[in-house]
Amino acid sequence: MSHEDEEDYPQRETAMTMAVGNLMDDVWHIAAIGLGLILSVLATGHAVLNKRDSRAAIAWVGFVWLVPLVGAVMYFIFGVNRIRHKAALLRRNLERYPGHRPRNPNACPKRCSAICRITQSISRCWLGSWGL
């Protein structure tokens, strides 16, 4: 290496480092924009399809698009009704819970069998008198 090449080497390294740094800045900006766009589209679709009140859906859609990344994150934290979602999941699996099974109307619990028999005999007499 000549003396001139040794002087240019630090300048070339600095220029290359700056170019890579600028490229990384561009990649992060593009990734943040892409993430914001994807989250905004998902939050908008969820709000439009799942909100019962149209005013709430319009408000959330506006908030999501006016404050792109933060609005979508806020919607997924505060806008999704987790109580109704949890209730739907529980209703879907009712057969797992014995307290929610449909009961036989003619079956009486043992602790009140006497009352149950009396009630059934009275209702049969009353319904029979009406011809039912």
Report DSSP letters for 32-82, one per residue: HHHHHHHHHHHHHHHHHHH-SSHHHHHHHHHHHHHSHHHHHHHIIIIIS-H
pLDDT of residue 132: 46
Name the one residue in this structure whose structure tokens are 């057969």.
95
- Same-domain pairing of 40 and 91: yes
Least confident of 17-31, 42-56, 103-117: 103-117
Residue bearing the bigger pLDDT, 85 or 40? 40
- Same-domain pairing of 92 and 129: no
Average pLDDT over residues 93-113: 60
- Same-domain pairing of 58 and 85: yes
- Same-domain pairing of 91 and 108: no
Average pLDDT over residues 1-30: 65
- What SS3 class is residue 101? coil
- Same-domain pairing of 23 and 76: yes
User: What is the C-alpha to C-alpha distance for residues 107 and 104, in angstroms, rounded to an integer?
Assistant: 5
Share of the chain above pLDDT 90, in %: 30
- Same-domain pairing of 59 and 83: yes
- Same-domain pairing of 36 and 56: yes
User: What is the C-alpha to C-alpha distance for residues 54 and 116, in angstroms, rounded to an integer?
Assistant: 49
User: What is the C-alpha to C-alpha distance for residues 119 and 14, in angstroms, rounded to an integer?
Assistant: 95
- Same-domain pairing of 60 and 28: yes
Least confident of 7-11, 16-20, 26-30, 112-116: 7-11
- Same-domain pairing of 62 and 82: yes
- Same-domain pairing of 53 and 112: no
- Same-domain pairing of 88 and 113: no
- What SS3 class is residue 92? helix
Tally of structural domains, the chain: 2
Q: Which domain holds residue 115?
A: 104-132
Least confident of 15-19, 82-86, 116-120: 15-19
Contact yes or no for 71/40 (Cβ under 8 A): yes
Q: Please report, for residues 32, 37, 40, 74, 103, the alpha-carbon distance to residue 80 in angstroms, rounded to integers and kept in the order given.
A: 23, 19, 14, 10, 34
